[in-house]
A and B are shown apart, each in its own frame.
Chain A
Amino acid sequence: MKRALKIFVTLSCFCSALFILEKLYDFGLRQNLNLKMTAIQKTPPCSNLLIHGPCEPLWMLSPALLDPKTNVSSFNLALSHSDFADNYLHLYFYLKHNKPPKYLLLYVTPESLDKNYNTFNAYRFAPYLFDSTIKTVVAENDPEYFRWTFVPFMKYAYYNNKFNFDVLQGYKHYFTARRLAYYPDGFEPPTKRTWGNHAGEFAQLYAKNTIFEIDPLREKYLLKTIRLAKEKKITVYLYESPVLFEALAFQANRTEMIKNIKHIAAKEHISFIQFEGLAMAKQKKYFISTLNFNMAGVKLFNDTLAGFIRSRMLIDTLK
């Protein structure tokens, strides 16, 4: 009897602990301004140009470099390793808490449509699973994780490596009454990296005879992102930054994939802007990986892009 009571008390304490932990994590994460989901609620950026996509725009498009040249205030909403469903939910959440921007610059490349590259990061939405849209998208894109979210605290335990530090940082932000994110405009400078073994990396990234395949789920969320923006009267530009020229040979069906992206853009009556012809694409010194620049490359590309945006937006305004 005494043992049964012990077990009962332990189990009750355990369930209560999980419940309390879940609440503590919810609160901590919603205070962490370095998380974009929190930042866009707490410090609305009110920008007219929204930069969006995975790590390429995150590390390569700097509002601080672009804004003075375009005369348009911009915010970088991109997040590393994200796919279109991830992008869609961030845009949805941004629009829920902010005034719609005039323009959306969304990064698309053949890898974006192939499920072997980047992914849906369900953990980014864990504190917001009460929202029905977020819940539906998470359930569709990470069903294994979603199944566990009904167990107390499992929505955090499942990817706990992604949360523990952020929760502590969230409490730090709360107790120090922090007002701005570490990167307030959303741009994160690329890592300093001496890129030595690039041929080996190509072989790993694009294993022999790799042919990009369009994942229907990715295509669906690309379309949903475009349509969500169009619903809010946002002008959407799809763009692809320069790809290191040497890597193109490893991308077997790149031309075909680009044709598909162009087709999607044409169908949705939006522009797809490419920078394939830039001279910098042939110089490895500007890159830290196939698709990412170092800071020198970022400065050069932002100059080019700013000029392009200016002229393009002018044309669109005249229309």
Chain B
Amino acid sequence: MLFNSPQFLLFLILVAGINFILRVANKRLFLLFASLFFIGFFNIASLAAVLFLSGFTFFVGSLIKGQRTNRLYYLALSVNVAAIMVFNYFLSVNSTLRFNFNSVDFNTESFLLMIGLSFYSLQHIAYLIDVKKQRLVAEKIFTDFLLYSVYFPKFMSGPIALHQQMRLQNWEDRPSGALMWQGFNRILMGFFKKMVIADRLAPSVHSIFDFNDTLPGLTVLAGGVLFTIQLYFDFSGYCDIAIGASKLLGIELPENFDFPLRARSITSFWRKWHLSLIHFFTTYIFYPLSFKYRHLKKTASAIAVLATFFVSALWHGLGFTFLLWAFCHTSYLLVELYFRKPNEPEKNRFRKGLKALSIFLLVSFSHLFFRSMSFGNCKHLISELFSTNFLPTNWRVDFIAPIAVGGHQTEHFNFLVTIVFIALFLILERKIFSIFSSRAFRPLFSFLFVILIFLFGVFNNGERFIYMQF
């Protein structure tokens, strides 16, 4: 039951409807059962894993305060970390289980496929640390704790909502009409991003990355650029659907993106991209390390950046390619840390655009490592990028055909349409976001976007979200 499946839409309408009319006292329990059903419908092994890990974390959390020894606390932390690592290990060695960048289907029946594990385990880790450090009172009711872990709109790929964020929600209140309209609008925007942009780009990215063809450097770079756009629209589209679905139930989830493709420095990029994960890493790794080594001044930040990205790479997967991706970003950030002048407000629009473009290209370059399926594939792409034939000798064959996935007019037309949508969306992004964050029903925009989805959205073969593999 993926977000872009008809089953999910039906499920969401049903759950939102019942939640709206249900009596206050039963709401939490109802949402808990709906979430457990959602996970179980997907894969029983995922349900068993989340029940075990949540049960164990809750149990340890409630004991931590009174314990003199740290053993249980470290044990619970290790179990959650180990769960992520073991899951990533199985993903990296088991090709039949693997749901990766270029696969269309994945084996939902496999007992090794743990949907959402990397996301809720981080929530558990944060909960344990916060309880240990007495920043948070341990949860007393198991069903509440479980609901915060398994809450279905955020379960699969976030946004990672920390325990205290979930606890502060008005679970008992009936969602207001305004909030529900806002939810509807966000869902619509999410579907548009996913179906009209991300899924239309997927074949182009697949064609450049997955065949080890001899390609000119510019085509490889275009692959990195297209993948960055695909990843952004796929993941932010997913988050829009998750946030919107949650709003329909009256619950606000944290935002995950803040127009990252407009960032004019790498530091700023990381303040705008995958915010909930960055919030976790900065709170639990970056700040503690910076504080611990504060006497080293800038070196403390360097150590913290290095550690943060090392952990981030491991969280994404056990592949060497993720380490290279992390190394790239660490280098960018260190260069900024040591050589960049403090931020001065830029008034010249052209220079602003140029800066944003250069950051976008740097991020796209790092995504060549992130998207590579193996070290061999990565090596091939990088050697093509830095080979002597950077510019294509035959533009139609070596550039247009791979990115448009074919040499026919139909394919060129389709690719052109996608590019026009991307350009329009990125130029009008803030405006579109404000329209679709509106708390009112916007008939004209809703009508227009639904028609555009019908005309240009990918309905077949677009059933996966990239971040589900993590």
Contact = CB atoms under 8 A, between A and B. Distances in A.
Question: Which size bracket describes the interface of B in this complex?
Answer: 20 to 34
A166 B408 CA distance: 12
Contacts of B457: 157, 160
A3 interface: yes
Given A6-B441, A10-B446, A204-B211, A164 B455 contact: yes
B268 interface: no
B451 A164 contact: no
A162 interface: yes
Contacts of B37: none
B456 interface: yes
Contacts of A157: 454-455, 457, 459
Nearest to B410: A165
30 contacts: A6-B441, A7-B441, A9-B443, A10-B443, A14-B447, A17-B451, A21-B455, A144-B460, A154-B454, A157-B455, A157-B457, A158-B460, A159-B459, A160-B454, A160-B455, A160-B456, A160-B457, A161-B410, A161-B414, A161-B458, A164-B417, A164-B455, A164-B456, A165-B413, A166-B410, A191-B407, A192-B397, A193-B397, A196-B214, A197-B214
Max chain B CB contacts within 10 Å: which of A13, A154, A157, A158? A157
A118 B458 CA distance: 21
B213 A14 contact: no
Interface of B: 200, 211-214, 397, 407, 409-410, 413-414, 417, 441, 443, 446-447, 450-451, 454-460
A223 B312 CA distance: 57
Contact of B459 (A6, A10, A158): A158
Contacts of B200: 161
Contact of B447 (A10, A159, A191): A10
The residue among B211, B407, B443 with the most chain A CB atoms within 10 A of its own CB is B443
A197 B441 contact: no
A183 B409 CA distance: 14
B344 to A, nearest CB: 46
A143 to B, nearest CB: 13
Nearest to A204: B211
Contacts of B441: 3, 6-7
Contacts of B213: 197
Contact of B443 (A6, A144, A153, A168): A6
B408 to A, nearest CB: 9
Contacts of A192: 397
Contact count band on A = 20 to 34
A104 B451 CA distance: 44
Interface in A1-48: 3, 6-7, 9-10, 13-14, 17-18, 21
B414 A165 contact: yes
A140 to B, nearest CB: 17
Contacts of A154: 454, 459
B454 A200 contact: no
A165 B460 contact: no
A3 B456 CA distance: 29
A165 B409 contact: yes
Nearest to A7: B441
A145 B455 CA distance: 16
Contacts of B211: 200, 204
A308 interface: no
Given A7-B443, A166-B410, 10 more contacts: A6-B441, A14-B447, A154-B459, A157-B455, A159-B459, A160-B459, A161-B200, A165-B410, A165-B414, A191-B407
The 8 residue pairs across chains A and B that have the minimum distance between CB atoms = A165-B413, A10-B443, A165-B410, A157-B454, A158-B459, A161-B414, A6-B443, A196-B214
A148 interface: yes
Contacts of A9: 443
Contacts of B446: 10
A281 B414 CA distance: 36
Contacts of B455: 21, 157, 160, 164
A274 B460 CA distance: 37
Nearest to B396: A192
A13 B447 CA distance: 8
Contacts of B460: 144-145, 158-159
A165 B397 CA distance: 21
A21 B450 CA distance: 13
A37 to B, nearest CB: 15
A14 B451 contact: yes
A9 B441 CA distance: 12
Contact of A21 (B214, B454, B458, B459): B454
Contacts of B417: 164
A164 B413 contact: yes
Contacts of A168: 413
Contacts of A160: 454-457, 459
Nearest to A3: B441
B407 to A, nearest CB: 6
A162 B405 CA distance: 13
A223 to B, nearest CB: 28
B459 A14 contact: no
Nearest to B200: A161
Contacts of B214: 196-197
Contacts of B447: 10, 13-14, 17
Interface centre among B212, B214, B410, B460 (most CB of A within 10 A): B460
A245 to B, nearest CB: 23
